[in-house]
Structure 1
Amino acid sequence: MLKNRLALLAIVLWVVTIAVFAWFFVRGNTEAGTDGRNTVVLAASERNLILGEMRALLAASQQVVQGIQQGDMKRVAESARAVGMASAVDVNPALMAKLPVAFKSLGMSVHRDMDDLAQAADKGKSSAELLGMLSNTMSKCVGCHSGWQLKAVQ
């Protein structure tokens, strides 16, 4: 009888642990922002990492536009690929747990879009098609910055 109770207690604790983890995975470490956006609360180093990634995406987008303008599809592909999914694989799982699922999904979709853009440039898609793809991706950037802000805590 004691073994059954201990087994039941272990199962209940396991389920509670999984539920709490799932809650934080979906919600992340967030709070209401002061300007109507959701605030993701991070350590300063984590915030700097994410902002650095965003700057890299912006710089790559500028290189893509410049490559399209100059007709240099190799530059377009290389610039886009540099910030594709391969650049997002080494993110610390503890940091990922702090990010809400909507934020993570949007960020990962931007990295996938950049890989798609690189493939389209490799296949010789037209400048108009490439700019359209980049425009769609940039609308995700605008949406993210409109809905989220990052707060560093010590």
Structure 2
Amino acid sequence: MFTNRFALVAMVLWIATVAVFAWFFVRGNTTAGTDGRTAVVLAPAERDLVLGEMRGLLSASQQVVLGIRQGDMKLVAKSARAAGMASAADVNPALMAKLPVAFKSLGMSVHRDMDDLALAAESGKGQADLLGMLSDTMSKCVACHSAWQLQPVQ
């Protein structure tokens, strides 16, 4: 009888722990933003890291546009690949836990899009196709910046 109660309590505690972890994984460390967007609350160093990654994506996008304009598909592929999934491989799990799942999904899809753009440039896709792919990717950037702001811990 004692064993059954112990097992029941252990099971309830396990389920509660998983539920709390899932809640934080989906929601992240967020609060209401100052301008109607959702604020993702991060330590200053984490905020700097995320903002640095965003600047890297913007810089890569500018280089992709330059490569397309110059007809330099090697530059397009190199620049896009620099912002692909490999650049997101070493992200700290503690930081990832603080980001809402929708934020993570958009971010990872942008990195995958950049890898796809590199492959398209290498396979000989035309300038219009490459610009269309970049435009679609950048619409995700706009959606993300419209939905969230990064706020340092206060």
TM category (shorter chain) comes to: over 0.9
Counterpart of 2:101 in structure 1 is 101
3-state SS of paired residue (2:111):
helix
TM-score normalised over the length of structure 2? 0.98
Alpha-carbon distance in 2 for matches of 1:93, 1:11: 26
Counterpart of 1:18 in structure 2 is 18
Counterpart of 1:45 in structure 2 is 45
List aligned pairs for 1:6-85, cutoff 5 A: 6-85=6-85
3-state SS of paired residue (2:78):
helix
Offset at residue 153 of structure 1 (A): 1.2
Identity %: 78
List aligned pairs for 1:104-143, cutoff 5 A: 104-143=104-143
Alpha-carbon distance in 2 for matches of 1:94, 1:19: 18
Alpha-carbon distance in 2 for matches of 1:58, 1:36: 24
Offset at residue 7 of structure 1 (A): 1.1
Alpha-carbon distance in 2 for matches of 1:129, 1:107: 22
Offset at residue 71 of structure 1 (A): 0.6
TM-score normalised over the length of structure 1? 0.98
Aligned residue-pair number: 154
Alpha-carbon distance in 1 for matches of 2:93, 2:12: 25
Alpha-carbon distance in 2 for matches of 1:152, 1:44: 5
Q: Deviations over 1:86-125 (max 9, x none)?
A: 1111111111111001100000000000000000000000
Alpha-carbon distance in 2 for matches of 1:41, 1:50: 12
The Cα RMSD (Å) is: 0.7
Gaps of 5+ in 2: none
